[in-house]
Amino acid sequence: MNIEAEIKGHFRNEYHKGIINLNYTVKQIAYQFYKTLKKHELTEQQYNVLRVLRGFRSESNISIGFVKERMLDKNSDVSRIVDKLVERELLDRKECPIDRRQKDLKITDKGLTLLNEMFYCEKEVDNLLTNLSIEEVKQLNFLLDKIRG
């Protein structure tokens, strides 16, 4: 269904339509992902932190700043997110031996187990684009990169 029919609206021009269409689509996809994460009592930002730490677990001295640089949502309060994940024993946080102001983060076995159990979430997200061919997905990625400059 086209965007005009979806939201029963009109647009000033194709640029306006493109922005509204992109925003509407992102919100729909995010909502589908949110429903999946909710089953595991995680927010999208918490899931993102866990994935970053899983991806870099072979590294030593991973700081909150390191995680923040890799977050999808750059406005996230990573310290608060980390606090909640530590409370749930999904992360360990220790004082950095080199700089006591820094905290070293590490995903726990419990956190890794949770991510492994949630692998189906990633598969479900992949399925959100299955109505596109692989060439169309590549083109979409190219265009999105181009928009960001």
Give the C-alpha separation, 78 to 146, whole Å: 28
Q: Which domain holds residue 101?
A: 43-111
Q: Taking a C-beta distance cutoff of 8 angstroms, is the pair 61, 98 a contact?
A: yes
- Looking at the structure of the chain, the number of domains it has is 1
Give pLDDT tens digits along the chain (149 positions): 788 888 888 899 999 999 999 999 999 888 888 888 898 999 999 999 999 999 998 887 788 889 999 998 878 899 999 999 999 999 998 887 777 777 789 999 999 999 998 888 778 777 888 889 999 999 999 999 999 88
Could you tell me how far CA 97 lies from the centroid of its own chain?
Answer: 30
Amino acid 143: pLDDT? 94
Domain-located, residue 50: yes
Full DSSP string of 43-109: -HHHHHHHHHHHHTTTSS-B-HHHHHHH-SSTT--HHHHHHHHHHTTSEEEEE-SS-TTSEEEEE-H
Domain-located, residue 100: yes
Domain-located, residue 51: yes
Amino acid 142: pLDDT? 96
Amino acid 122: pLDDT? 78
Beta-carbon count within 10 A of 76 CB: 18
Amino acid 59: pLDDT? 82
Domain-located, residue 2: no
Q: What is the CATH number of the domain that holds 99?
A: 1.10.10.10
Domain-located, residue 1: no
Amino acid 7: pLDDT? 87
Amino acid 42: pLDDT? 93
Amino acid 50: pLDDT? 95
Domain-located, residue 28: no
Domain-located, residue 25: no
Q: Taking a C-beta distance cutoff of 8 angstroms, is the pair 90, 76 a contact?
A: no
